[in-house]
């Protein structure tokens, strides 16, 4: 039986965006503490999902300050993750 009501993600894109960014942050921290290819890949995937959630929140005119903060946080996470990836690639 199909649901007639939209999911909470669609009803609250700002909350979903914030939750996605927090989840991505946890994934990046995991990759930084255990720099392995699979952890890095998982973190990049989490960041990509969070970026999609932030874009969706932006399209639904969620709080502009929160959207901006989430974008900045994701950019910082990508920089950190790229540094970790370089370290892993440089290992023998």
pLDDT tens for residues 35-62?
888 999 999 999 999 999 999 999 998 8
pLDDT at residue 3, as a whole number: 63
CB-based burial label for 90 (10 Å; 0-12, 13-18, 19+): exposed
- Specify the pLDDT at position 63: 87
Q: Look at 8 and 36; give whichever has higher pLDDT.
A: 36
**Cα(52)–Cα(20) distance, integer angstroms:** 9
Q: Judge whether residue 20 has pLDDT over 60.
A: yes
Rg of the chain's alpha carbons, rounded to an integer?
Answer: 15
- Choose among 29, 27, 36, 30: nearest CA to 85: 36
Entry pTM: 0.87
11: pLDDT strictly greater than 70: yes
92: part of which helix (H) or strand (E)?
A: none
Helices within the chain (DSSP H only):
8-11, 13-33, 37-59, 64-90
């Amino acid at each position: 039986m199909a649901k007639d009501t939209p999911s909470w993600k669609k009803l609250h894109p700002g909350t979903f965006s914030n939750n996605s960014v927090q989840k991505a942050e946890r994934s990046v921290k995991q990759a930084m503490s255990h720099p392995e290819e699979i952890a890095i890949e998982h973190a990049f995937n989490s960041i990509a999902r969070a970026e999609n959630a932030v874009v969706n929140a932006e399209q639904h005119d969620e709080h502009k300050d929160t959207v901006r903060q989430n974008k900045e946080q994701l950019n910082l996470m990508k920089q950190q993750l790229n540094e970790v990836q370089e370290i892993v690639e440089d290992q023998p």
